[in-house]
Structure 1
Amino acid sequence: MNELLIIILLVVIALIFNNLNNKIKKLEKEVSDLNAKISPNTTETTVKQQESSSQKITISEQVPSNENQERNLQQKRNNEELPIPEQKDWLSPVFEFLKQNILTIIGIFTLVLGIGYFVKYAIDKNWIGETARAGIGFCTGATIILIGHFLRKNYATFSSIITGGGVAVLYFTATIAFREYHLFSQNTAFIITILITLGSILLSYYYKSEILMIFSLLGGFSAPLMISTGQSNYPFLFIYLTLLNIGMLAITFLKQWKSVGWTAYILTTLYLFYLFSWTIDKPEFLSVVFYIISYIIFYIFALQNYIRKNTVYTPDILMLAFINFSSVTGLVYTFHEIKYEPVIVFPITFALVNMLFLLREYGRKDFGTSFSVFAGITVSLITIAIAIQCKAHLITSIWAVEATLLLFIWKKTGHKIFKTCFYLLFPLVVIAQIFTWTEYFNAKQLSIVFNPIFLTSLVTIISIIISLYLLKNNQGATTQKQGSFFEDSIPLIGYGVIYVAILLEITYHISEMPWSAITNIGILFTLFYIFILLLFKKQQNIGKDLETRLIYIFLLLLVVNASASTSAVVTSILSKELSIGFYFWHLLQWLPFIYVCFGIIPSSDFHKTKISYWIISSVFTIMVSCDLYHSYVLAYAPDLIHSYVTEDHFISLYLPIVWTILASFFIYIGLKRNIQEYNKIGFALIGIMVLKLYSYDVWQMDNISRISAFIVLGLILLLSSFTFQRLKNIIKNMVDKKDKNKEDLEV
């Protein structure tokens, strides 16, 4: 029943195809008839155009020679002033090809699968033996190739895809015949796959088909995997891949098929990264040789246009960056695994190779794109060499430097592909850096700063700082709308990476201290880090909104550090876990706080709302109160047990006095600067102090303390009132005098 359905389906497909073929022939005949009708009109139009042009020539001959010369000069100037056309996106031809031929690609893929399923069905039914199965596969592949051959004149692209499908059938047939049916040995299977590869390459060259060449490369690189038995024969594999890449290089020089070279590079890189796992189990020097040979081949491939035209295009620059850094990664890793030294010989050697071209550009006094590219690669490789010599982690360092290099090249060339690659690589840098930080948990006795983990972080920090500088003014290279998300998020991520890298290094080296000390130092570092960001806000293009948020975070951390964190430190000091000298470190927070209040806040948007005055006054009050409170406790409490009595004594007796002085200060500032909010804050603080004094404090004091508190507070309030009255009169006299002088001038 199933066989009958398949036969009926094939007949229906044949009828449909025949019907469509007849319609296409009919349409072709109608088109040719229309062309025949249009051609006479076209001839008449051509004759008229020729007559018109001859008249124009006759008129132009009558124009004086001087006028013709002036026109030629003007035309020459206009040609010189014409802008150089922008280089088109190199990915657009790929997408255009896929858009036009996607149905053909899917069709040939579906056909190959259909043939495979049909053969499998025939095998399951025992219709054909193993040898016959292989023969059917080879015949089917050859038939498809012949069909593509006959279609090549009128349908070049379609023919190439069809031929590629036939080559794929041959590869799969050879693989199945060897692995499943064991019809021939491994050497015979490999010779067959090589012959298939050579045949497809010759067909590609003969047909002048770049698409078929890519199919051939895919098959050629897949051949070793298809006939692999699991036994490692790396010398033979390396020789085969090297010969395949040399053939690719020759083809690209003859035909200028860049996509072929990129396909070979991607496939070779996949093989090379596979070597990592092999190198761990069986380190050999042979892999180093293969890395170097591959570097030479693809470096020459990247320099084709530079050799011929003394210039480098966008794909060439990408290849130069990728081949240098991927080769350094593999070579240094392999050299390290086989215990050879020095590992920096490879980045230094590659840097010297690029420096030769840099010196060539310098000698020609050509400081254009080529000079910038070779300079950027040379400096990046030297940076990598220094990082590796200092035992920094390989992958993280190389990715960080390469990301910065791509951004540098984007700034010099303006091609968006480099910026896109930076956006793709930057998250990988962050992820690799996070994995590097996890080594702090198991590391023991690391040196301060000069240890592999922090040196890796230092390379990443320097790369991020350079990248942020390059991204700072990019409106000339890209529009505001493009990349705005990344340009907003990358600086924040970059600042976060720098912060965490330094904080983890500090935390690791103080990890033996009490937790209160670690927290206090961490908060103090965070305060100074935010302060530095605010201090250099113009250099980092920090906007007003972000600046205001940073100020709020800064003030919040000040409150946390002055109250909770320092209280924990005081407790540790009284418990003899810390020395009393540690307490004075937290007083450093006053330095950035004073500068932020007088140097940053006045020029910011912090005081746009009235509540900001209350926030900064509250922070100042809490900081002064807590510092005096902690200092008093440390000065008069001999141990933790006696500190509770000392704390109650300060809160009941001295804290109201402190708040009264602060309230007077706020009222004074409010009157002097004519800011009503400070006056309100001062009176509100006096109200809180008085409420606290009469509702709680007086009932906790002895008679002598109660009398002293009332006398001192009364004197302070009277002196403050007298001072305010004098200040008010002075201000009034100044205003009156100013108005009088103004009137005199008007008279």
Structure 2
Amino acid sequence: MEEKAASLSKKISILSKDLEWYRTELNALQKQVELLKHEKYQPTVQQDTVQPRKEKVEVIEIRKEPLVVKIPESVIVSKPQQTVTPPSQTQKPKPSFSLEEYIGGNIINKIGIAILIIGIAIGVKYASDAGLISPLTRIVFGYLAGAGILTTAVKLKKKYEGFSAVILSGGMATLYFTTLFAYSRYGLIPQAVAFTVMIIFTAFTVFAATVYNRQEIGIFGLVGAYGVPFLLGGGSGRVGNLFSYMTIINIGILVLSFKKYWNILNYVTFSLSWIIFCIWFFLEYNSAQHQTIAIVFSSCFFIIFYLDFMVYKIISKENLNAKDLVLLLLNSFVYFSIGCVIFNRINDGIYLGLFTLANAVIHLFFSYAVYKDKKIDRKLFYLLMGLVICFVTIAIPIQINGNWVTLFWAAEIFVLFWVGRIKKVEFYEWLAFTMLLPGVFSLIQDWVNAYFKIKTLHPFFNITFLTSLMMVCSLAGVIFLNKKKPLHSEGYSRFALSRIVNYPIPIVLFLITYFTFYYEISHFWLQRYRSSSVALDTYTLFDEDLLQFRRLWLLNYTALFMSAFSFLSIRKIKYSSVAWSSLCLATLTVTLILSLGLSDLSTLRSHYLSGYNSEYFYQGKWYIYFRYVCFTFLSVLMYHMYLLSKMDLLNKSVLKISPAALNLFILIALSSELTNIMVINHSKDVVRYEMLSHKVGYTVLWGIYSLSMIAFGIWKKKKWIRIPAIVLFGIALIKLLIYDISGLATGYKVIAFVALGVLLLIVSFLYQKFKNIILSSDE
């Protein structure tokens, strides 16, 4: 009572101050009105007193009236009437967003109702475990608690509608899991009654959400009911009942979408439904027991969420946005993935193609509905038709084999990019690029399953190879389409899109194309190696030479691939970055061939000459002559390296460095061939003649090659050719003095020294004879 009296006295004092302030303002206004009335008649009096004959003076003095009138105007400009308002405490502007008010009035009530529901559940569970109450009492208590919460919500609706909505949603969630407990765990009510009650609750929740026009009711009432499976635990074993319960809830969401499309509610229900289903599917699914359940309820979820999305778009005519697009594609992909796993285990996947076509038909049906209604965003039609094309495209390969995921990604990448570029929808192009990463990972997984496991595959005629080619064609199609249909619209993010199409996608295409054929060649020789086994008494023997041939053919293929890439760099793709990349990769390939390749060729030659395991495996002259096949591939690649070095796109220094590198590669190949010839012609003393080739043969060969380079450099007036030749002469001389003379017979020492000395004299003679030519116009 004292507090009320104090507050009333404060209000009286405030009102009395307001009255005094209004009285003061009224007095001021009255004085201003009297002043205006007085000034209104003052000009006429001045006209009477001023001499009427002096018209100019009379006019001037009449025109001077504004000087007097400005005084009240200045008073009016001060706008005292604007101050005739309640005191400052009644004129406070509306406060901006208050975090405290938001937390206290919005967040806390939701947390509170969630905690209340959890508390009720924990209390019921505790009483159940302790045997304090019977199952019937628990269920009755649950219904009473839910009813009490609903009653409270109804009473609070008039004054506190937002708070009432949260309370009502909590009450509906309580009734939901109480009904499920009564049927699933305790068996107190039959299935028909339980489902009828659940339908009634769902209908009431949808009705309440529509009346309140608030998402909280749907989130807590419908989505909150998804917590039931976790409260029940895994011991119920009634999967069909659980998914039926979830289906009823999702149907309620679907019905609600006819009038409302609350994003948070739809995203949460979509996520929870598929997460719960996928967890069960990957952990508990058994084809013999759950096949029908999995097909029926996965289809129900897919159709419900598809309708949930489409119905609102058709009714509202809203434009397609990124979140809707992700939701639609994710729903399609999750359902298709689960369906492929299910049907792949039915009669060895005989129905996979039919299931894929069924997906295409579903998307075709909705695309037709969108097409008929011209007011709906055309982007949605293009998206659905893209899905139709994707599923029809991969139906036949899926029927043949189960590499469906990679095929799906490959087709999706090209189709979405094609739709985006043809119809000038930039978002579709970005979506195609986002699918590149999962597509590549899916292809790598296919490679691991096919090539890194002991499997028998028909070379170049297997589903993994065809899947890889599909990805190659998809990315090549994107690049081709980008070239034929360049970006013109100013609305496009030209810089970002062009960089993605011009750099990452070509690099990925290059790598996928290379490894597509690489793994096929590798797996072919590995299969031959595994099939060459010979069982002996204590161990199994394999033909190790097949591994040498495997690596050599892989190097030959790499040389051919890099030659083709260099050819494209020279003729078609005329960019400096591509030319540099091609030259570097070609140089790396040649280095590998001259190191690993020559080593493997030497091993094959040694096995052929020594007859290593010849009693178990066939060894023919192919072991010797195969080196010339390798040299053919090497020569083609080195020729393209020479053409690359002459391109204007590269620096001039490359033109000088590249010939030196090419000469080095040629010299290494000739040195290896010299050893090969000497060893083959003296097969009975391989070790001795191999050593002679290294000590004497290489020194003489290098001297002759240096002389040839110097002569060519003098003829062409190329200083940067002669200098490396002189350096090579120096290396040969150092080799002769340090390495060759040790362990050589006197005759061979004489041959080496005399040959190198003669060559040096010839070089000196050439420099003396052509000195004027060299110094006059040298490059």
Sequence identity (%): 21
CA separation in 1, counterparts of 2:233 and 2:662? 72
Q: What is residue 336 of structure 1 aligned with on the other side?
A: 344
1:347 to 353, 356, 364: 356
CA separation in 1, counterparts of 2:308 and 2:232? 29
Is 1:510 aligned with 2:553? no
Asked whether the 8 Å contact 1:112–1:169 carries over to 2, the reply is no
Q: What is residue 289 of structure 2 aligned with on the other side?
A: 282
CA separation in 1, counterparts of 2:155 and 2:369? 53
* 1:535-574 matched pairs, under 5 angstroms: 535-536=567-568, 548=580, 551-574=583-606
Is 1:199 aligned with 2:199? no
Indicate the larger mover: 468-477 or 166-175: 468-477
Is 1:386 aligned with 2:396? yes
Is 1:594 aligned with 2:604? no
Residue type at the aligned position of 2:593: N
CA separation in 2, counterparts of 1:692 and 1:419? 61
Q: What is residue 582 of structure 1 aligned with on the other side?
A: 626
CA separation in 2, counterparts of 1:377 and 1:710? 78
CA separation in 1, counterparts of 2:445 and 2:203? 47
CA separation in 2, counterparts of 1:227 and 1:295? 25
Aligned to 2:549, the other structure's residue is in SS state helix
Residue type at the aligned position of 2:391: L
Aligned to 2:459, the other structure's residue is in SS state coil
* 1:71-82 matched pairs, under 5 angstroms: none
CA separation in 1, counterparts of 2:646 and 2:379? 44
Asked whether the 8 Å contact 1:406–1:418 carries over to 2, the reply is yes
1:438 to 449, 454, 476: 449
Spell out, residue by residue over 1:610-647, the C-alpha distance to the aligned partner (whole angstroms, 9 max, x if none).
Answer: xx956762464144323442364156426877332222
* 1:105-504 matched pairs, under 5 angstroms: 105=107, 108-109=110-111, 111-113=113-115, 116-117=118-119, 120=122, 129=133, 137-146=142-151, 148-149=153-154, 160-174=165-179, 192-219=197-224, 244-257=249-262, 260-270=265-275, 273=278, 274-275=280-281, 278=285, 280-282=287-289, 284=291, 287-288=294-295, 295-304=302-311, 305=313, 309=317, 312-339=320-347, 341-351=350-360, 357=367, 369=379, 372-403=382-413, 405=415, 414=425, 419=430, 423=434, 426-427=437-438, 429-430=440-441, 433-434=444-445, 436-466=447-477, 477-478=492-493, 495-504=510-519
Shift of 1:653: 3.2
After superposition, the Cα gap between the structure-2 partners of 1:157 and 1:490, relative to the gap in structure 1 and judged at 3 Å, is: farther
Is 1:617 aligned with 2:660? yes
Asked whether the 8 Å contact 2:364–2:388 carries over to 1, the reply is yes
Q: What is residue 92 of structure 2 aligned with on the other side?
A: none
Asked whether the 8 Å contact 2:472–2:512 carries over to 1, the reply is yes
Q: What is residue 80 of structure 1 aligned with on the other side?
A: none
Gapped runs of 5+ residues in structure 1? 1-17, 38-95, 737-747
CA separation in 1, counterparts of 2:221 and 2:497? 38
Shift of 1:687: 0.8
CA separation in 2, counterparts of 1:538 and 1:263? 55
Q: What is residue 659 of structure 1 aligned with on the other side?
A: 702
After superposition, the Cα gap between the structure-2 partners of 1:123 and 1:268, relative to the gap in structure 1 and judged at 3 Å, is: closer
Indicate the larger mover: 285-294 or 675-684: 285-294
Q: What is residue 553 of structure 2 aligned with on the other side?
A: 521
Aligned to 1:510, the other structure's residue is in SS state helix
Asked whether the 8 Å contact 1:468–1:491 carries over to 2, the reply is yes
Asked whether the 8 Å contact 2:117–2:170 carries over to 1, the reply is no
Asked whether the 8 Å contact 2:153–2:167 carries over to 1, the reply is yes
Spell out, residue by residue over 1:74-133, the C-alpha distance to the aligned partner (whole angstroms, 9 max, x if none).
Answer: xxxxxxxxxxxxxxxxxxxxxx9x999787456523553366458857987989745666
Shift of 1:551: 3.6
Asked whether the 8 Å contact 1:558–1:623 carries over to 2, the reply is no
CA separation in 1, counterparts of 2:580 and 2:306? 50
CA separation in 2, counterparts of 1:532 and 1:248? 58
Shift of 1:351: 3.7
Aligned to 1:524, the other structure's residue is in SS state helix
Residue type at the aligned position of 1:446: L
Spell out, residue by residue over 1:648-691, the C-alpha distance to the aligned partner (whole angstroms, 9 max, x if none).
Answer: 22223332333234434555676678765544322211111122
Asked whether the 8 Å contact 1:391–1:451 carries over to 2, the reply is no
CA separation in 2, counterparts of 1:509 and 1:382? 32
Shift of 1:203: 1.1
Asked whether the 8 Å contact 1:351–1:382 carries over to 2, the reply is yes
Residue type at the aligned position of 1:509: F
After superposition, the Cα gap between the structure-2 partners of 1:204 and 1:354, relative to the gap in structure 1 and judged at 3 Å, is: closer
CA separation in 2, counterparts of 1:161 and 1:674? 92
Q: What is residue 59 of structure 1 aligned with on the other side?
A: none
After superposition, the Cα gap between the structure-2 partners of 1:185 and 1:613, relative to the gap in structure 1 and judged at 3 Å, is: farther
Q: What is residue 51 of structure 1 aligned with on the other side?
A: none
CA separation in 2, counterparts of 1:583 and 1:642? 21
Shift of 1:562: 1.0
After superposition, the Cα gap between the structure-2 partners of 1:102 and 1:662, relative to the gap in structure 1 and judged at 3 Å, is: farther
TM-score by length of 1: 0.69
Q: What is residue 630 of structure 1 aligned with on the other side?
A: 673
CA separation in 1, counterparts of 2:434 and 2:247? 33
The number of aligned residues is: 646
CA separation in 2, counterparts of 1:631 and 1:392? 53
Residue type at the aligned position of 2:457: L
TM-score by length of 2: 0.66
Aligned to 2:258, the other structure's residue is in SS state helix
Q: What is residue 688 of structure 1 aligned with on the other side?
A: 731
Shift of 1:509: 0.6
Asked whether the 8 Å contact 1:404–1:422 carries over to 2, the reply is no
Residue type at the aligned position of 2:392: I
After superposition, the Cα gap between the structure-2 partners of 1:175 and 1:330, relative to the gap in structure 1 and judged at 3 Å, is: closer
Spell out, residue by residue over 1:231-288, the C-alpha distance to the aligned partner (whole angstroms, 9 max, x if none).
Answer: 7667666666656555544432333446555555444544664456535233645654
Asked whether the 8 Å contact 1:548–1:606 carries over to 2, the reply is no
CA separation in 1, counterparts of 2:350 and 2:378? 37
CA separation in 1, counterparts of 2:318 and 2:176? 41
Shift of 1:729: 4.7
Indicate the larger mover: 492-501 or 350-359: 350-359
Shift of 1:591: 1.0
After superposition, the Cα gap between the structure-2 partners of 1:686 and 1:362, relative to the gap in structure 1 and judged at 3 Å, is: farther
Structure with max Cα Rg: 2
Asked whether the 8 Å contact 1:660–1:716 carries over to 2, the reply is yes
CA separation in 2, counterparts of 1:122 and 1:271? 24
Asked whether the 8 Å contact 2:703–2:759 carries over to 1, the reply is yes
Spell out, residue by residue over 1:180-199, the C-alpha distance to the aligned partner (whole angstroms, 9 max, x if none).
Answer: 78766777665554443333
CA separation in 2, counterparts of 1:547 and 1:163? 70
Indicate the larger mover: 494-503 or 686-695: 494-503
Asked whether the 8 Å contact 1:659–1:686 carries over to 2, the reply is yes
Shift of 1:448: 0.9
CA separation in 2, counterparts of 1:318 and 1:170? 33
After superposition, the Cα gap between the structure-2 partners of 1:525 and 1:237, relative to the gap in structure 1 and judged at 3 Å, is: same
